[in-house]
Structure 1
Amino acid sequence: MTQTAMELMKVNKTIGSKHIIKDLSFTINKGEVFGFIGPNGAGKTTTIRMMVGLMKISEGDVRILGKSIKTNFKEAIREVGAIVENPELYPFMSGWQNLKHFARMIPGITDERIMDVVRLLGMEKPIKEKVGRYSLGMRQRLGIAQALLHKPSILILDEPTNGLDPAGIREIRKYIRRLAEEEEVAVIISSHLLSEIELMCDRIGIIKNGEMITTQYVQGEEENAQKTFSLEVLPTEQALELLRTDLELETNVKDGLLSFNCEKDRMPVIIKKLVANDIDIYQVNMSNGSLEDKFFDLIGENTIE
């Protein structure tokens, strides 16, 4: 049974006469990687700040494992670890010394727990080196280790792959997936890199002008989600006319293939119709469509500044 880790309940933020966040409601489950995306100025950072208590909620509530951030802040926030952009670390100290220094601020963190987190993030070798010598990817990993020391149920990462090279991005992705799957941590990621969100996340929420316009599974786990189909058929022109006119499908032609979006359960009808009209079918391919396509379909073009 799915357990809710965090729930936003009709969260609003007003600053002066500006209504920035409007009735934002969604849930994040334990062991889930949730991508929080939207164009610049959509309200992602404001929402994250309210989630972790850095900004006051005007109306509504955030519940963390059922505990309200408004009425039971200390108990609720204890369940959260967070990194907003680059983690703040002491470059003249080793990775181990940084973690030990942070551990002193929270009662009950043992050397064994520090070592567990170091192993989880594959940092056994560099942990004794000075942080000033770390690559950007290694710093991010140490930042995540720091955020995990107190065994949070929820990890919030704002742009965790910012400035990383492809190898560093892949590394961070691997450890985030491991956290969710092995530690049952709910991970919330805000990022502009849609291709990374697609590889990393189970579900996404898209925010625009302070409103959540959709939450959906990245791999189309919803019942009968729309898929992208491409067909190799002959004669192409006749098939194109049939798809566009008779079946009312918005169809494109590229490299001799016809492509369109539709629900999976429509395909048998479409194929029968083509065959009945003496059209030869050589191949049918299906994909979920990229997250970038979904994003621009929902947000509109030219919205990321």
Structure 2
Amino acid sequence: MVMTDGRAVLRGRGTRDERVLDTVLRVEGLTKRYGRRVAVQGLALKLRRGEVLGLLGPNGAGKTTAIAMILGLVRPDAGTIEILGVDATRERERALRRVGAIIESPSFYPYLSGIDNLRVLALARGGVPERRFAEVLELVGLTGRERERVSSYSLGMRQRLAIAGALLHQPELLILDEPTNGLDPQGMAEIRQLILRLAAEGQTILLCSHLLYEVQQVCDRVVILSQGQVVAEGDVEELLAQRTRTALRVDDPPRAIELLSEVEWIERIEQEGDLLLLTMPSERQFELSALLHAHGIAVGELRVQSRTLEEFFLDVTGPSTTPGGRGVA
């Protein structure tokens, strides 16, 4: 949670001016080793203004290390980090003035009220206008509860108060590391709606979460890490479209499998009872139907089966990375 210096950035004619305006965070070749273990290897990512980017990966993938390097908490062994055109490895304080962040569980003075905790945070960073407290409290849905002691707050309310604190100085980049960790379903829904509201108002957000269902609903793009390296990245809808499956029901599954195994544009064939699930380009369904008909195989059902982000994640990182089958840490 660091304040912004309020400096305006204007579009100029040069390439660098355009980059500063449109790109809030740029990371290139970011690498960190701990002895022989490589925590992050050559990480590259770009976060554009007004975008919500999800940083995902299984335990030990390097997410936390990457976030720590971006925030200047860990020194990288190689690579560059630019925040709104400022080299964060060389001018850390200047770059981080424009960043708000929540890392791990937020800490507050339990016997102070919510608004007094915000005042403490503001004073530690140079102060803000009095009206700003009311603005952020309204934004996170704590208006009317701000004078109650934080010790009486639910975990979800404390998390929303932490986000209010991160927003006090109107950061141009908001970094949220596991913002729904430990929350009940209602608390998760509240944080999800808050992130969607911030995104609708143009806030640029880097979100690190293990709840893939949440990420799919709030993020524009995702970067997936595995063993310190990027294994997939892109627009959420486009990534899922690449991994759609075609559900096929035929009268002779064994013969269909034998035939379709020789088709080069079918990547994978899975069988669930009498249903075949084909990983293939969805636009080739007509060719698929014609091929089966030509070989005397009757088709009872043929449809595109959309995939979830969780299924995509398991495809690119391996099935052992999601304990309980629901998310990643």
> TM over 0.5, yes or no?
yes
Matched, 1:302 2:316: no
2:242 aligns to what?
A: 225
- Matches of 1:23 and 1:63 in 2, distance apart? 15
Of the three residues 124, 127, 131, the one matched with 2:143 is 124
Q: Does 1:265 align with 2:283?
A: yes
- For the residue of structure 1 that corresponds to 2:237, the secondary structure is coil
Structure 2 match to 1:144: 163
Extract unaligned runs of 5+ from structure 2.
1-17, 324-329
Percent identity between the aligned chains? 37
> Shift of residue 279 of structure 1?
4.7
Deviation of 1:148 (Å): 0.7
Cα distance change, pair 285–133 in 1 and its aligned pair in 2 (3 A) = farther
**1:198-237 C-alpha deviation (Å, 9 max, x unpaired):** 2232221111222222212222268x72312213444555
Alignment of 1:4-15 (within 5 A): 4-15=23-34
In the alignment, structure 1 residue 61 sits paired with structure 2 residue 83? no
- Relative to structure 1, the CA distance from residue 284 to residue 149 in structure 2 (aligned partners, 3 Å threshold; closer, same or farther) is farther
Whether the aligned pair in 2 keeps the contact of 1:243 and 1:249 (CA below 8 Å) is: no
Matched residue SS, 1:164: coil
Query: What CA distance in whole angstroms lies between the structure 2 residues aligned with 1:238 and 1:211?
Result: 40
Number of residue pairs aligned between Structure 1 and Structure 2:
303
Letter of the structure 2 residue corresponding to residue 296 of structure 1: L
Structure 1 gap ranges (5+): none
Aligned equivalent of 1:30: 49
Q: CA deviation at 1:257?
A: 3.0
Specify the SS of the correspondent of 2:199.
Answer: helix
Q: Distance in 2 between matches of 1:76 and 1:117?
A: 23
Please list, as runs of the form range in 1=range in 2, the aligned pairs for 1:217-296 lying within 5 A after superposition.
217-220=235-238, 225-234=242-251, 236=253, 238-246=255-263, 248=266, 250-254=268-272, 256-296=274-314
Q: Distance in 2 between matches of 1:273 and 1:18?
A: 50
SS at 1:128's partner residue? coil
3-state SS of paired residue (1:125): coil
CA distance in 2, matches of 1:246, 1:74: 57
- Which residue does 1:177 correspond to in 2? 196
Q: Deviations over 1:106-148 (max 9, x none)?
A: 3351122221211221221222221111111111111011001
SS in 1 for 2:238: coil
Render the CA deviation track for 1:51-92: whole Å, top value 9, x for unaligned.
Answer: 111111222111011111022222210111111121111111
Structure 1 residues 199 and 120: alpha-carbon distance in aligned structure 2, compared to 1, 3 A threshold? same
- The residue aligned with 1:214 is 232
Mapped partners of 1:304, 1:270: distance in 2: 33
Measured in 1, the distance between the counterparts of 2:104 and 2:212 equals 17
Separation (CA, whole Å) in 1 of partners of 2:51 and 2:306: 20
TM-score scaled to structure 1, two decimals?
A: 0.89
